[in-house]
């Protein structure tokens, strides 16, 4: 991932201190509140500190250009979902859930791909809260629509992604592959898996390691569904047979143990779906409770990007 500098006007939005981010080769423009973006992670904070605040700009007719951030190698539609999370952290799961109920199949696959890209982007900038929000959304989508793990998706994770950035996605995808292959006899799926094992030795190794862990934990891979994200980490023995702990595929899993997910604590989330705001409601939530600002994100039905079917 490469950040570059370009030139454009960085002004104010109703008196607020903002920064402009250009995303993708087409340089789609996102105008974001400086403090909100800077406070999200050290990566953004380091780059934003190099951008002069609007209050320090020279105020004259000749001064019409200032430094901005440009993220040329990322997908604008993925970044749009990131901005949605940035402004609507507490309601992000509800927004994604609402979007999946309204989308056609093609749009659903597009949203899924953007969530995958969002997870990878968050891993690169070391923002685990976004990684885990994207992972939760992916598990929920696969459960709702009972999707299998496609060969194309696995080839993408093991052939195109950085292993460190994709480690959680790989762990979940391998669990999905094992569950689907052992659940029913799918000759074509087994044939595709065998070809993938030859092409990607790391996938084969991860797959066999997963099967070994299932045996050690006395779990039946045929019924332990990786789509099912149970709403806790401390589970009764009967519950753990059918699904995975809340944080199994989160970035912090080892540190949490059977405790409460730190993201749920930080955002005050409950195990139940949060209400989705109506079409006329424009409240914006952030960690700083900046209720006077409006999210710049459009309807999720408008996003589009690469399909990983």
Share of the chain above pLDDT 90, in %: 48
Task: Check pLDDT > 60 for residue 56.
Answer: no
Over residues 287-304, the mean pLDDT reads 42
Q: Which residues pair with 22 in a beta bridge?
A: 29, 70
Distance of alpha carbon 59 from the chain centroid? 40
Over residues 167-176, the mean pLDDT reads 96
Which pLDDT value is given to residue 184? 62
pTM, rounded to two decimals: 0.79
59/54 Cα distance (integer angstroms): 10
Which pLDDT value is given to residue 236? 75
The residue with greater pLDDT, 251 or 270, is 251
Which stretch of DSSP H or E encloses residue 28?
Answer: strand 28-33
104/107 Cα distance (integer angstroms): 5
12/238 Cα distance (integer angstroms): 56
The domains of the chain are located at 4-71, 92-302
């Amino acid at each position: 991932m490469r950040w570059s500098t370009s030139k454009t006007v960085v002004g104010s939005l109703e008196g607020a201190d903002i920064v402009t981010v250009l995303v993708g080769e087409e340089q789609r423009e996102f105008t974001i509140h400086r403090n909100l973006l800077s406070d999200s992670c050290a990566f953004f904070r380091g780059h934003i500190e190099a951008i002069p605040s609007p209050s320090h700009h020279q105020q004259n007719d000749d001064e019409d250009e200032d430094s901005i951030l440009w993220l040329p190698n990322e997908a604008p539609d993925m970044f749009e979902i990131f901005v949605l999370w940035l402004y609507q952290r507490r309601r992000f799961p509800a927004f994604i859930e609402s979007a999946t109920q309204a989308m056609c199949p093609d749009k659903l696959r597009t949203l899924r791909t953007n969530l995958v890209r969002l997870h990878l982007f968050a891993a690169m900038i070391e923002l685990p809260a976004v990684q885990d929000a994207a992972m939760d959304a992916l598990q929920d989508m696969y459960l709702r629509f009972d999707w299998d793990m496609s060969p194309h998706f696995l080839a993408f994770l093991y052939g195109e992604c950085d292993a460190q950035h994709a480690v959680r996605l790989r762990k979940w995808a391998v669990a999905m592959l094992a569950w689907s292959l052992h659940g029913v006899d799918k000759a074509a799926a087994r044939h595709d898996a065998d070809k993938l094992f030859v092409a990607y030795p790391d996938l084969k190794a991860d797959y066999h390691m997963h099967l070994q862990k299932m045996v050690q934990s006395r779990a039946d891979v045929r019924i332990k569904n990786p789509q099912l994200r149970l709403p806790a980490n401390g589970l009764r023995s009967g519950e753990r047979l059918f699904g995975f702990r809340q944080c199994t595929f989160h970035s912090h899993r080892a540190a949490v143990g059977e405790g409460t997910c730190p993201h749920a604590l930080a955002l005050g989330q409950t195990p139940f779906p949060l209400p989705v705001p109506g079409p006329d409601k424009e409240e914006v939530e952030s960690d700083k409770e900046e209720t006077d600002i409006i999210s710049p994100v459009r309807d999720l039905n408008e996003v589009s990007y690469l399909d990983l079917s």
